[in-house]
Amino acid sequence: MHRAARTASAALALATACAVTACGSSAGGDVAADKKQTLTVWAMGAEGEKLAEVATAYQKANPHITVKVTPVGWDVAHQKLVSAAAAGKLPDVAQMGGSYMGEFAELGVLEPVDTKVFDEKDFFPAGWQQGEVDGTAYGVPWYVDTRVLYYRTDLAKKAGVDEPPADWKALRETATALKEKAGSKWGIYLQPRGLDTVQSFYPFLYSAGGEIVDEDGKAVIDSPAAVRAFEEYGAYAKDGLSTKSAQPGYDPLKDFNTGDVPMFFSGPWIATLIEDQYPDLKGKWAVAPVPADETSTSMAGGSSLAISKDSAHKAAAKKFIGYLTDAKGQADWYERTSDLPANTAAWESGELAEDPRLQVFKKQMETARTSPALPNWTEVTSKVDAALESVTQGKASAEDAAGKARSEVETLVK
């Protein structure tokens, strides 16, 4: 894919620093995997805390390896990685979200994945693609997530709806019935505006066959398919089926519990939160695939594990990543964290194979799409956020909003 110019000041600073300190240069030599050594690993958020437990178990089976795990908060992760790369001090292994991969791969600080060790066919396609930049894989999929439809089954029954909506027409009809017949304040929650509104929009955009930037790096957010997705998304706010206003960081779970919001799109972690925080909802909710237009296609998320190009412990790093990403390691990681395995073989037994709810996520992941690995993707999507707001607030037509977004995105991907 055509590479976009970096605009973030942190990335520009890193590029300058790399010119002076030779970021991404070979460290010269590599310690054999069976030699005594210390492996440094950075992992973010809750994963960083849990990974230390796994590292302890790994060290017992591999006493010559000391795995030093440093938990890093997602709020400071990007800047910490930028600073470490500029100083030539990236850890041997780092967890990377898909939005980071293009930036750090372009700067030459990541080691390409050894495809003789890690096989693309072992993972969900979208999981593998998140670690790819210009056809080269720089990250091994660690866990995945995707968005599906959460809905209140008891309220649906009250509204006379026996099955989850399978397509856009049924979704609109279900939202209408929930509001008019089940007493819900809204029929569904679709984020109306603000940062990352695009996350709520992806299931509509991708299911319509649209995208923001195509595989040639061309802005196509004003394609007929994308305009249709804008129209459909905006119609819920226009018709009073979804709110036009929501506070930053709004969490629909409380209103899902009361029934004010009987449907919303979200990821697998929400299921755990519902079970833990709202036990009275047991048996009153379910998940379903994204309602289809041309297809039923959702977004793909998750994280990959990348090796620093400067690491002198690449062999040990590959072995540790292999331990984390084979079927057994992935099943264990799910038990510890509820993160969905990226390795498809982990889904063949146990709860992952038997739980109908989890199988909905598996089915959705099989067709999920990942965002392009552009260094300035956050800036690109902010233009789509603004376009969505103009549509949901009735300030612009879907066609005009999409056209403006395309012009703005074009300037970022040339």
pLDDT tens for each residue of 1-15: 333 333 344 444 454
Pick from 159, 93, 108, 13: nearest CA to 305: 93
Residue 374 pLDDT: 87
pLDDT (tens digit per residue) in 101-150:
988 998 999 999 999 999 999 999 999 999 999 999 999 999 999 999 99
pLDDT (tens digit per residue) in 355-403:
999 999 999 999 999 998 888 898 999 999 999 999 999 999 999 999 9
Confidence of residue 18 (pLDDT cuts 50, 70, 90): low
Q: Which of the following CATH numbers is that of domain 148-299+373-413: 3.90.1150.10, 2.40.160.20, 3.40.50.300, 3.40.190.10?
A: 3.40.190.10
Residues 21, 24, 28, 33, CA torsion sign: positive
CB count, 10 Å around CB of 38?
12
Q: What is the pTM of this model?
A: 0.90
Residue 342, C-beta contacts closer than 8 angstroms, at least 6 positions apart: 123, 124, 127, 128, 141, 142, 143, 144, 302, 325, 330
Residue 42, C-beta contacts closer than 8 angstroms, at least 6 positions apart: 48, 69, 70, 72, 80, 81, 91, 93, 94, 95
User: Which tokens sit at 262?
Assistant: 């009987």
Dihedral pair phi/psi, residue 289, rounded to 5° = -60, 160
Q: 235-252 as b/e, with b when 16 or more CB fall inside 10 Å?
A: bbbeeebbbeebeeebeb
Check if the beta carbon of residue 95 is closer than 8 Å to that of residue 47.
Answer: yes
Burial of 216 (0-12, 13-18, 19+ CB in 10 A): exposed
User: For the chain, what percent of residues have pLDDT higher than 70?
Assistant: 93
Dihedral pair phi/psi, residue 31, rounded to 5° = -70, 135
Pairing state of beta strands 148-152 and 285-288? antiparallel
Averaged confidence pLDDT in the chain: 92
Residue 2 pLDDT: 33
Residue 23 pLDDT > 90:
no
CB count, 10 Å around CB of 384?
25
**SS3 track for the chain:** CCCCCCCCHHHHHHHHHHHHHCCCCCCCCCCCCCCCEEEEEEEEHHHHHHHHHHHHHHHHHCCCEEEEEEEECHHHHHHHHHHHHHCCCCCCEEEEEHHHHHHHHHCCCECCCCCCCCCHHHECHHHHHCCEECCEECCEEEEEEECEEEEEHHHHHHCCCCCCCCEHHHHHHHHHHHHHHCCCCCCCECCCCCCCHHHHHHHHHHHCCCCCECCCCCECCCCHHHHHHHHHHHHHHHCCCCCCCCCCCCCCHHHHHHCCCCEEEECCHHHHHHHHHCHHHCCCEEEECCCECCCCCCEEEEEEEEEECCCCCHHHHHHHHHHHHCHHHHHHHHHHHCCEECEHHHHHCHHHHHCHHHHHHHHHHHHCECCCCCCCHHHHHHHHHHHHHHHHCCCCCHHHHHHHHHHHHHHHHC
Residue recorded with tokens 């970096």: 6
User: What is the Cα Rg of the chain in Å?
Assistant: 22
Does domain 9-145+300-367 match CATH 3.40.190.10?
yes
Residue 248 pLDDT > 90:
no
Check if the beta carbon of residue 396 is closer than 8 Å to that of residue 201.
Answer: no
CB count, 10 Å around CB of 88?
17
Residue 347 pLDDT: 98
pLDDT (tens digit per residue) in 183-221:
999 999 999 999 999 999 999 999 999 999 998 999 999
Residue 99 pLDDT: 82
The letter for the amino acid at 331 is A
Work out the angle at residue 338's Cα, subtended by the Cα atoms of residues 337 and 342, and round it to the nearest 5 degrees.
Answer: 100
Q: Where in the chain is the domain with CATH 3.40.190.10?
A: 9-145+300-367, 148-299+373-413
